[in-house]
Structure 1
Amino acid sequence: MLNIDKMHHIAVICSDYSKSKDFYCHTLGFSLMAEYYRAERGSWKADLALNGQYMIELFSFPSPPERVSRPEACGLRHLAFSVQDLELAITQLNKDGVECEDIRIDPYTGKRFTFFSDPDGLPLELYEQSL
């Protein structure tokens, strides 16, 4: 068995680097740890942290192909973020122009959650840990 300690990072390729960087940093609250322009690729790379922990590599590439994400396509389904107050998080996202789906209840844990999308349509989830 492989001895994995924890998840290191998630890589996200975006179509509009400035728009996605603003979304992840200002709307979702990630901090920019490092940022690099890779001239040989015409590509930006940003290292984003949440509460001081490196979590997301945000990449741009010239004309990336669209990825099928719904309905229930094979591969990465969504990224989920834990929150303490789901309604407050939804209100904050709505203020930033981000629409969320109706709140659902996880039938196995009884916890509440909702889905929304990043600027490229990547499905994201907020999962409430309190209550």
Structure 2
Amino acid sequence: MHLSSIHHVAIICADYPRSKRFYTQVLGLRVVAEAWREARRSHKLDLALPDGGQIELFSFPDPPPRPSYPEACGLRHLAFRTPDLDACVAHLQRHGVEVEPIRVDEYTGRRFTFCADPDELPIEFYES
């Protein structure tokens, strides 16, 4: 078996317009496709990352809350690589996003920080 990269990450949101705004206007991801799926009463938004990966943003009626704190089994967080963490943090703060203090990875020496998306999904920004 040969795996070459992550194709996409799927995220279910509680408030579709709010999450769409966060991922497109705050994070700056490009819309590839958007659809309303009547049978599921669900939006599906495909967003492009610069490396070819995608984020799929879904809305479903009344999704249960995501257990994050304390951390639950399953996907822990979504991480984005950035060449300039300081510029990334400044951009997020200009958009009113609360960002944790910058930390240093004890194993790699690289700087990183976290924020949360509108549904409290932890998002990491890793400088490399």
Same fold (TM over 0.5): yes
Match of 1:126 in 2: 125
Shift of 1:22: 0.7
SS at match of 2:125: strand
Shift of 1:71: 2.4
Instruction: Give CA deviations for 1:52-100 in whole Å, capped at 9, x if unaligned.
Output: 6241110000110001012222111001001111111111100101010
Distance 1:101 1:71 in 2: 17
Q: What pairs with 1:70-109 in structure 2 (closer than 5 Å)? A: 70-109=69-108
Q: What pairs with 1:1-131 in structure 2 (closer than 5 Å)? A: 2-51=1-50, 53-129=52-128
Contact 2:42/2:61 (8 A) holds in 1 = yes
Instruction: Give CA deviations for 1:3-40 in whole Å, capped at 9, x if unaligned.
Output: 32221100000001111011001100100000010011
SS at match of 2:86: helix
Unpaired segments ≥5 residues, structure 1:
none
The more displaced of 72-81 and 51-60 is 51-60
Aligned length: 128
Unpaired segments ≥5 residues, structure 2:
none
RMSD: 1.1
TM-score (norm 2): 0.95
Distance 1:51 1:5 in 2: 16
Identical-pair percentage: 55
SS at match of 2:20: helix
TM-score (norm 1): 0.93
